[in-house]
Amino acid sequence: MNEPKLLSHMKENHLDAFYISKKENVRFISGYTGDDSALLITSNEYFFITDSRYTEQAQLECPEYTIKNWRTPGRTKADMVGDLAREHKLTSVAFESDVLSYNDFQLFDEKVDANLKPYSGVIETFRQIKTPEEIQYMRAACEISCRALEQLMPMIKPGITEKELAANLSLFMVEEGADTMPYGNILISGKKTSLLHGIPSEKSIEYGDFVLIDFGCQVHGYMSDMTRTFVVGKATDKQKEVYEIEKRMLEESTAIHKAGVTGKDIYIASLGPLKDTPYMGYQYNNIGHGIGLFVHEGPFSSEQDLTPFPVGNVRTIEPGIYIPNWGGVRIEDQLLITEDGYENMVRFTHDLIEL
């Protein structure tokens, strides 16, 4: 799949091998869709290090790899990498320094007789620019999410709990064609909507509540991520005021997306509608992220982020206003960055909906 990109990096950096164990990076490089496995990429052979739960799946999904079952009594993955390093005379082995635990690193240091070289962000940087196929999967995931939300809306009524709604939303996404492993959707109501990452609970929806739904699904592993905030019943004047400011924050910061823009530019654009309102200070500093095989990928849209967005990057835009002990509003879309603008993959109104 994507081994050639890594091989070029290894050549430039004089590396004999690269050990990869971050789940999304294993999938991106090899195409393997399971868990708990690692790759050892060398210039003339690719090794797939797993255990007997996954050997058949690995053979099917990664036919170019030599499959190695590390799990025999008393052995560790580090023993397997040590054997391979010896057999193939590997003198330098790179590893993902943000993934290998301290305990694992100590084992590798003991068992692998090669120079261990820490790297982070190498494969993540490849992943920032999406191929047409990856983009198609994410368009499909966004369409599924929108259809599922439309199905959920008639159920959002006083009396139903946040958990019941969250479970139904996941079901609707799978029925609409999403992969069967939903990720943790946020579906919160009332004052809890000021919690940026609140968890659905047994709380029942009440008349007058904000209901904030931040959710997504995966198609072939590629994710969607969107948020809409509704009001159950008639919105108060303050709810309408906060919602309208938030909507302008979203739309003004969305409008400037294009290749070369940075996360800092986006964050600053989002603040325009907040200035001179009582709600300045109730925003959050990180209002977007790359997305793909993982939900939060770089570059981020924050005051600190100076990485220019590349063409082909897919990312979210999600400013919000969060007022403790009152409530919060977030609207989130998913954008594909193009040379001179963006494509919004989420086709769902930004207007306030009173349910």
Closest CB to ligand GLY among 305 and 332?
332
| Residue with the two structure tokens 């004052």 | 191
Which residue in 41, 318, 337, 342 binds ligand GLY (CB under 6 A)? 318
Whole-number Å distance between alpha carbons of 284 and 316:
14
Which residue in 96, 162, 332, 333 binds ligand GLY (CB under 6 A)? 332
Amino acid 183 reads Y
Closest CB to ligand GLY among 94 and 331?
331
* Segment interacting with Mn ion (CB under 5 A) among 107-115, 212-220, 276-284, 342-350: 212-220
Q: Are 309 and 337 in contact (CB under 8 A)?
A: yes
| Interacting partner of 209 out of ligand GLY, Mn ion, none (Cβ under 5 to 8 A depending on kind) | none
Nearest CA to 127 out of 253, 276, 24, 206 is that of 24
Letter string b/e over residues 267-287, b meaning 16 or more CB atoms within 10 A of that residue's CB: bebbbebbeeeebeebbeebb
Scanning residues 205 to 234, which ones bind ligand GLY (CB under 6 A)? 214, 225
Scanning residues 167 to 206, which ones bind ligand GLY (CB under 6 A)? 196
Whole-number Å distance between alpha carbons of 227 and 58:
36
245: exposed, middle or buried (C-beta count within 10 Å: 0-12, 13-18, 19+)?
Answer: buried
Letter string b/e over residues 310-326, b meaning 16 or more CB atoms within 10 A of that residue's CB: eebbbbbbbbbbbbeeb
The answer to whether residue 218 forms part of the interface with Mn ion (CB under 5 A) is no
The answer to whether residue 214 forms part of the interface with Mn ion (CB under 5 A) is yes
Give min distance, CB of 86 to ligand GLY, in A: 44
Give min distance, CB of 318 to ligand GLY, in A: 5
Closest CB to ligand GLY among 81 and 291?
291
Number of residues that bind Mn ion (CB under 5 A): 4
Q: List interacting residues with Mn ion (CB under 5 A).
A: 214, 225, 316, 332
